[in-house]
C-alpha cells in the first residue's frame, strides 16, 4: 500500500510490525469509514487478501504416509493448460508447511547427473569385460582410491573437483570414508564461515591441538575433532548441555535457520537457562550458542553428507580402477558444456588417456572407450554426434550399417553403403574436417577437395541403380571401376592441412582442440609466468565478486575483435584459451595503447588482470600483456616432493617414469628447502605424456615447470 509492504488489514487495524504502514494509511481509513462504495470494495479485498492465486508444484518433493493421504489432507489433480485431468499428477491441497505440521514425511528426490555417470560407466565396463562391478559393495577402505584423493587427483569426482576442495584434500590427506563425507559437509557456508574447512585438516593431522570447551562435549564431537560439523552435532549438544528434548533441539535448529531475531533471542535465553539448570553455567551456555547460531542454517545433516560422500567415493573409485570407462561416461554427461568438456579432456591427457577424434569406424554417438589398438592402450574416442551438422539420427544410420556389414574400407565404400540421407554435403564436409575419415587413410585436405564430386557421383549412381540404368562403358571400365561405387574412383590428392589449419577446423567442427593443442608441450614453460589457470580463476574469483584479486593467466588468443570507442580510441576483446578453459578478455584503450602490438590471433600471451563478474558470464579486464619466452620440451623439469610422499614405492615409481622418457631436459627435485639435480642419465623429454604420468604418481601440484 502506497509503496509499503503492508497488508490491507494492517492499514485498517494497528498491527505489530506494520506501524509505519498504519500511520501512512489514514486517508484510506477515512474513505473506508465514510464512503459506502469504498467500504464495499475494501471488504471484498480483505476477503481475497492472502488467498492463493495459483497452485505450484515442488520440483522434487514427495509426501509419504503409511495410511491413505486422504485420511490427513485434501488432494487434487494439477493438469497443465489443455491437459487431460486424468493424466495430471496428484498433489496436496495444503502447502509444504501445513503438510509438515500434520506430521507427514516430505522428501525431496533430486536428480544427480553423477548417478547417470556411474550407471553409464558400469554399462561400459560390462560391455568391455562382460562383468559389472557391484558399485554399492565397493571397499570403502580401498587404499588406491584414498591415495588418489590424497594426491588431490579429484577432477571429475563428484563434490571434490573444485580447486579449493582439492587444496583441502591435500591438507586433509583422507585415510577413511568418514573423511570424504566430512569434506562434503565442510564446504558449506556455515562451516566455512567458522573456518572449519581449514581447522578440520589441522586437527585431524595433529598440526593443531585438539581442545574441547568442556569434557562432556568430547563424546559428542570426538569423531569431528571438536567441531560441530553436522546438524546432529548441534542437536546433541542442545540435548546434553541445555536439557532439550529431541523435538526442542530440532526447533532450535529451525529457529537458527529462519534467521528470525525474536525467535533466536528467545532460543538463546532458553538455551543458556537450560545450561545453567543442567549445571554447566551461563558462560559456557553463551559460548555454545554463539557457535550454534550462525552455523545451524547452513550445516548438512549427517545422512546427507554421508549420502553425497558415498556418491563422491564411488566416482573416485571408478576413476581410479576404470579410468577410461569413467572418463568417457563423464565426458558424455557434459557434452553440451564446452568449458567442462575442455577441463575433462585436459584431465584425460594428464591421466595418460588419449582422446581421439571422431572416427566412422570406431565411434558411436557418445564418447566411448576405444580398444581397437589393443588392451594396453588407454584411449577414448569422440562421439560422432559431437560433430557439427551431424545429428544423432545420422549417427544411428552410420553405426547400424557398420555393425551389420563391418567397418568401412574407404570414403567410397562409406558413400556406397550408408543411407543416402547421410550423404549431405555439409555433413560429409564436417566429418572430414573433424578427422572422422582419418582411419581409412585419407588426408583431410585432399578429401575436402574432392568430397563434393564423390558425393555427387555416389548419389547419381544410386539413382541409376534404382532406375535400372547400366553404364554403356561398364565393360570397358571393369579394371578401374568399383562395382559397388559405380565407376572409376575419384583420385584423392595427397594434400594435408598444416597444423594450425587442421586444429582450427577441429575446433570449428567439435568446439574444441582434440588431436593437439597450440599449448601442448609448452605447459611447463608457460606455468613459470602465471599464478593461476583460467578454470581456477573462474571458480575462485566468481565467488569473490568485486573483491576478486589480480591474477596472471596464460593461453592462446582466438576470436580477436578490435573496435573504437565514441572518442575514437582503439580497444579490443578476445578469447584466451588454455588447456582447460576459455574466457573472454577486455582490453580497454589505455592498456591497448601500451600492449596492442602484442595482441593477435593465435599468439600465446600472458595476461594480468582481474575478473569482472557483473554480467552472467565473467570476463577478464586486462591490465598488462606480455609474450612469454617458450621452448618446447627442452627446459629443465622441476618436481616438488613433499617429505610426506617419499615412500619407497613412489621413489621406485619416479625412477621408472623418468627412465621411460629419456631426453635433453635436466630434472631438479625440490625436497623441503633443498633442490637436488639428478644425474644426466635421468634427463628427460618433457613431451609425450611425461608430465601426466608424474602428476598421476605424485599429485597434480608436483610438477612445477
For 377-404, write each residue's pLDDT tens digit. 689 999 999 999 998 999 999 999 999 9
Q: What is the pLDDT of residue 218?
A: 93
Nearest C-alpha neighbor of 147 from the set 178, 175, 180 = 175
Same domain, 223 and 263: yes
Whether residue 85 sits in one domain with residue 142: no
Determine contact, residues 386/392, Cβ cutoff 8 Å.
Answer: no
Q: Tell me what pLDDT residue 260 has.
A: 66
Q: Determine, yes or no, domain membership for 2.
A: no
Q: Return the biggest CA–CA distance within the chain.
A: 110
Whether residues 143 and 228 share a domain: the answer is: yes
| Assigned domain for 498 exists | yes
Can you tell me which residue has the cell 617429505? 643
* DSSP codes joined into one string, 39-57: HHHHHHHHHHTT--SS---
Nearest C-alpha neighbor of 296 from the set 354, 231, 340: 231
- Examine the pLDDT at 144 and tell me if it is beyond 60: yes
Residues 44 and 101 in one domain: no
Quote the cell numbers at residue 365.
Answer: 554417438
Residue reference for cell 492472502 = 50
Q: How far apart are CA 343 and CA 338, in angstroms?
A: 9
149 lies in some domain: yes
- What is the percent of the chain where pLDDT is above 70? 90
Domain region containing 529? 523-626
Q: Which of 76, 93, 108 is the last residue of a domain?
A: 108
User: Nearest to residue 249, comparing CAs of 213, 301, 284, 214?
Assistant: 301
> What pLDDT is recorded for position 358?
94
Mean pLDDT of the chain: 85
How does strand 667-671 pair with strand 637-640?
parallel
Over residues 518-553, the pLDDT tens digits come to 887 777 778 878 888 888 888 776 656 567 789 999
pLDDT at 543: 59
Could you tell me the three cell numbers for 409? 574400407
Condensed to tens digits (0 to 9), the pLDDT of residues 205-231 reads 888 999 999 999 999 999 999 988 888
Residue where one domain finishes, among candidates 459, 475, 510:
510
- In this structure, the answer to whether residues 300 and 376 fall within a common structural domain is no
The answer to whether the predicted template modeling score (pTM) of the entire model surpasses 0.85 is: no
Q: Quick check: is 575 in a domain?
A: yes
Confidence of residue 560 (pLDDT cuts 50, 70, 90): very high
Distance between CA atoms of residues 414 and 442, nearest Å: 12
Per the model's pLDDT, the better-predicted residue between 314 and 186 turns out to be 314
Residue 504 and residue 554 in one domain: no
Residues 6+ apart with CB under 8 A from 95: 52
pLDDT of residue 1 exceeding 50, the answer is: no
Q: Same structural domain for residues 102 and 126?
A: no
Do 349 and 498 sit in the same domain of this protein? yes
CATH of the domain at 547: 2.40.50.140
By the 10 Å C-beta count (0-12 exposed, 13-18 middle, 19+ buried), 482 is classed as middle
Domain count, the chain: 6
Asked, for residue 252, whether it belongs to a domain, the answer is yes
| DSSP three-state, residue 607 | strand
Phi/psi of residue 587, nearest 5 degrees: -120, 110
Pair (174, 252) in one structural domain: yes
Grid cell listed for 333: 554427461
pLDDT band at 582 (very low <50, low <70, confident <90, very high): confident
Residue 680 lies in a domain: yes
DSSP 182-232: HHHHHSSHHHHHTTHHHHHHHHHTTSS----SSGGGHHHHGGGTT---SHH
Q: For residues 705 and 691, what is the distance between their CA atoms, to the nearest angstrom?
A: 9
Same domain, 66 and 184: no
Q: Are residues 85 and 181 in the same domain?
A: no
- Specify if 273 maps to a domain: yes
Q: Rounded distance, CA 99 to CA 107, Å?
A: 11
Examine the fold and report which residue of 575, 596, 626 is the final residue of a domain before the chain moves on.
626
Task: Answer yes or no: do 178 and 249 share one domain.
Answer: yes
Residue 341 domain flag: yes
Residues 6+ apart with CB under 8 A from 555: 519, 534, 576, 577, 578, 582, 604, 605, 607
Amino acid at each position: 500500500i502506497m509503496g509499503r509492504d503492508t497488508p490491507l488489514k494492517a492499514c485498517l487495524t494497528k498491527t505489530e510490525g506494520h506501524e509505519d504502514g498504519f500511520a501512512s494509511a489514514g486517508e484510506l481509513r477515512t474513505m473506508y469509514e465514510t464512503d459506502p462504495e469504498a467500504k464495499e470494495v475494501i471488504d471484498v479485498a480483505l476477503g481475497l487478501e492472502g488467498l492463493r492465486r495459483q497452485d505450484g508444484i515442488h520440483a522434487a518433493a514427495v509426501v509419504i504416509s503409511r495410511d491413505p493421504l486422504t485420511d490427513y489432507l485434501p488432494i487434487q489433480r494439477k493438469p497443465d493448460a489443455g491437459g487431460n485431468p486424468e493424466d495430471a499428477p496428484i498433489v496436496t491441497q495444503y502447502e509444504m508447511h501445513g503438510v509438515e505440521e500434520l506430521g507427514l514425511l516430505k522428501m525431496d528426490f533430486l536428480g544427480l547427473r553423477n548417478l547417470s555417470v556411474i550407471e553409464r560407466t558400469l554399462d561400459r565396463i560390462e560391455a568391455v569385460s562382460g562383468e559389472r562391478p557391484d558399485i554399492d559393495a565397493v571397499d570403502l577402505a580401498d587404499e588406491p582410491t584414498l591415495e588418489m584423493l590424497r594426491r588431490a587427483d579429484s577432477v571429475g569426482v563428484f563434490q571434490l573437483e573444485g580447486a579449493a576442495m582439492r587444496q583441502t584434500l591435500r591438507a586433509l590427506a583422507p585415510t577413511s570414508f568418514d573423511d570424504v563425507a566430512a569434506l562434503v559437509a565442510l564446504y558449506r557456508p556455515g562451516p566455512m564461515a567458522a573456518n572449519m574447512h581449514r581447522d578440520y585438516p589441522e586437527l585431524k593431522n595433529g598440526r593443531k591441538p585438539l581442545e574441547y570447551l568442556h569434557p562432556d562435549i568430547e563424546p559428542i564431537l570426538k569423531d569431528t575433532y571438536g567441531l560441530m560439523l553436522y546438524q546432529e552435532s548441534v542437536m546433541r549438544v542442545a540435548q546434553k548441555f541445555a536439557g532439550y528434548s529431541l523435538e526442542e533441539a530440532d526447533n532450535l535448529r529451525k529457529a537458527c535457520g529462519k534467521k528470525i531475531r525474536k525467535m533466536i533471542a528467545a532460543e538463546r535465553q532458553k538455551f543458556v537457562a537450560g545450561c545453567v539448570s543442567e549445571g554447566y553455567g551461563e558462560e559456557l551456555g553463551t559460548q555454545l550458542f554463539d557457535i550454534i547460531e550462525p552455523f545451524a542454517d547452513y550445516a548438512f545433516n549427517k545422512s546427507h553428507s554421508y549420502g553425497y560422500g558415498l556418491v563422491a567415493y564411488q566416482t573416485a573409485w571408478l576413476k581410479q580402477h576404470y579410468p577410461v570407462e569413467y572418463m568417457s561416461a563423464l565426458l558424455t554427461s557434459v557434452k553440451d558444456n564446452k568449458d567442462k568438456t575442455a577441463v575433462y579432456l585436459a584431465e584425460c591427457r594428464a591421466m595418460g588417456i588419449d582422446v581421439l577424434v571422431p572416427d566412422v569406424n570406431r565411434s558411436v554417438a557418445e564418447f566411448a572407450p576405444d580398444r581397437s589398438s589393443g588392451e594396453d592402450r588407454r584411449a577414448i574416442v569422440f562421439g560422432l554426434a559431437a560433430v557439427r551438422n551431424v545429428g544423432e539420427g545420422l549417427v544411428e544410420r552410420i553405426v547400424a550399417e557398420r555393425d551389420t556389414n563391418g567397418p568401412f574400407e574407404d570414403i567410397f565404400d562409406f558413400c556406397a553403403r550408408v543411407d543416402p540421407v547421410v550423404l549431405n554435403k555439409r555433413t560429409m564436409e564436417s566429418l572430414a574436417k573433424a578427422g572422422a575419415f582419418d582411419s581409412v587413410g585419407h588426408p583431410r585436405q585432399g578429401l575436402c577437395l574432392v568430397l563434393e564430386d564423390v558425393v555427387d557421383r555416389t548419389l547419381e549412381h544410386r539413382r541409376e541403380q534404382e532406375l535400372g540404368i547400366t553404364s554403356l562403358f561398364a565393360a570397358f571400365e571393369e579394371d578401374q571401376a568399383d562395382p559397388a561405387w559405380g565407376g572409376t574412383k575419384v583420385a584423392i590428392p595427397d594434400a594435408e592441412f598444416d597444423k594450425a589449419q587442421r586444429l582450427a577446423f577441429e575446433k570449428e567442427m567439435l568446439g574444441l582442440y582434440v588431436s593437439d593443442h597450440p599449448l601442448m608441450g609448452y605447459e611447463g614453460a608457460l606455468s613459470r609466468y602465471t599464478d593461476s589457470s583460467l578454470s581456477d580463476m573462474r571458480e575462485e574469483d566468481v565467488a569473490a565478486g568485486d573483491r576478486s584479486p589480480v591474477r596472471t593467466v596464460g593461453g592462446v588468443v582466438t576470436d580477436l575483435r578490435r573496435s573504437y570507442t565514441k572518442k575514437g580510441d582503439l580497444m579490443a576483446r578476445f578469447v584466451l584459451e588454455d588447456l582447460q578453459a576459455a574466457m573472454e578478455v577486455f582490453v580497454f584503450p589505455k592498456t591497448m595503447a601500451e600492449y596492442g602490438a602484442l595482441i593477435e590471433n593465435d599468439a600465446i600471451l600472458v595476461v594480468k588482470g582481474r575478473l569482472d563478474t557483473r554480467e552472467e558470464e565473467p570476463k577478464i579486464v586486462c591490465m598488462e600483456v606480455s609474450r612469454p619466452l617458450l621452448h618446447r620440451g627442452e627446459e629443465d623439469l622441476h618436481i616438488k616432493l613433499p617429505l610426506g610422499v617419499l615412500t619407497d614405492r613412489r621413489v621406485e615409481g619416479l625412477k621408472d617414469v623418468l627412465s621411460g622418457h629419456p631426453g635433453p631436459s635436466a630434472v631438479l627435485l625440490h625436497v623441503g628447502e633443498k633442490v637436488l639435480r639428478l644425474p644426466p642419465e635421468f634427463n628427460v623429454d618433457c613431451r609425450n605424456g611425461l608430465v601426466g604420468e608424474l602428476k598421476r604418481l605424485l599429485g597434480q601440484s608436483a610438477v612445477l615447470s
